[in-house]
């Protein structure tokens, strides 16, 4: 089974979920690519290390080690942007002022539980801002490959990886399509071109509706 949507396709699809004038936090990994598909001035990007109005990567020679995003990449700041300390930044997140967080995921359950910070028995990378973003943002969109490299399910009835937050994910975007946790199942919002419902169902560890 090969991926039907590339990560670029997934990022382009995720960008369509962002209404004009939204405040958005993009997690490390695939979610970071979503920025490439947002029209200029469409939304405001929040970086939890203390930046709102994050702009594109700087031109060569303009990079500043003290102007970075949460992935520690050098970035720029747009007109209308602002900087602030970490407590203020997470006050924004926890207080529900970030409209959408788009986060990488390892597992998502039918209840909307999100697991994205630790593999059982694996090396612990840490939590970072993931739990705050998952618990505090108004909407959480998860992005991931539909199956693990070992072809294990990642859209599941119940997560067996350590949770990041419970009942928070409103939408999952994978290489096979777009799915919404309903509580007992995943509702098919959209399938990538050429993906049949049967194929998506076989790749999903919970009922598809």
Partner 1 sequence: MTGRHGNKVVGSVAEALAPLTDGMTILCGGFGLSGNPEALIRGVIERGVRDLTLVSNNAGNLGKGLAQWLRAGILRKVICSYIGNNDELHTRMASGEVAVEITPQGTLAERMRAAGAGIPAFYTPTGVGTVVEHGKETKEIDGKRYLLERALPGDVALVRAHTSDRFGNLRFWRTARNFNPVMASAAKLSIVECDHLVNNGAIDPDDVHCAGIYVHRIVHVPEHENAFEYRTVRKRP
Which residues are identified as catalytic? 48
Nearest by Cα to 131 from 178, 71, 90? 90
Residue 153, C-beta contacts closer than 8 angstroms, at least 6 positions apart = 147, 203, 204, 205, 206
Q: Is 182 in the site for partner 1 (CB under 8 A)?
A: no
Q: Which of 29, 53, 119, 182 binds partner 1 (CB under 8 A)?
A: 53
- The end-to-end CA distance of the chain, in Å, is 22
To the nearest whole angstrom, how small is the minimum distance from the Cβ of residue 39 to partner 1? Answer: 13
- Contact of 74 with 64, CB cutoff 8 Å: yes
Residue in 145, 162, 189, 205 binding partner 1, rule: CB under 8 A: 162
Considering only residues 142 to 161 of the shown chain, the ones binding partner 1 according to CB under 8 A are none
Check residue 26 for interaction with partner 1 (CB under 8 A). Answer: no
Q: Longest C-alpha distance within the chain, in Å? A: 52
Task: For tokens 């942007």, name the residue.
Answer: 81
Shortest distance, position 5 Cβ to partner 1, whole Å: 23
Contact pick of 7, 9, 12, 71 for partner 1 (by CB under 8 A): 71
74 touching partner 1, by CB under 8 A: yes
Cβ proximity to partner 1, 4 vs 98, nearer residue: 98
């Amino acid at each position: 089974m090969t991926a039907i949507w590339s990560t670029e396709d997934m990022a382009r699809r995720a960008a369509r979920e962002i209404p004009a004038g939204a405040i958005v936090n993009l997690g490390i990994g695939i979610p970071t690519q979503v920025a490439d598909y947002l029209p200029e001035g469409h939304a405001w990007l929040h970086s939890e290390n203390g930046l709102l109005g994050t702009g594109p990567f700087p031109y060569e020679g303009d990079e500043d080690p003290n102007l970075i995003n949460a992935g520690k990449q050098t970035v720029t700041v747009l007109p209308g942007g602002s900087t602030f300390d970490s407590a203020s930044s997470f006050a924004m997140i926890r207080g529900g002022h970030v409209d959408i967080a788009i986060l990488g995921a390892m597992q998502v359950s039918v209840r909307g539980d999100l697991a994205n910070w630790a593999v059982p028995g694996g090396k612990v990378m840490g939590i970072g801002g993931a739990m705050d973003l998952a618990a505090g943002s108004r909407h959480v969109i998860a992005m991931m490959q539909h199956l693990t490299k070992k072809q294990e399910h990642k859209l599941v009835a119940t997560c067996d990886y350590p949770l990041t937050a419970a009942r928070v994910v409103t939408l999952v975007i994978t290489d096979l399509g777009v799915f919404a946790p309903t509580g007992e199942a995943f509702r098919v919002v959209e399938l990538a071109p050429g993906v049949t419902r049967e194929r998506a169902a076989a790749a999903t560890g919970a009922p598809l509706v």
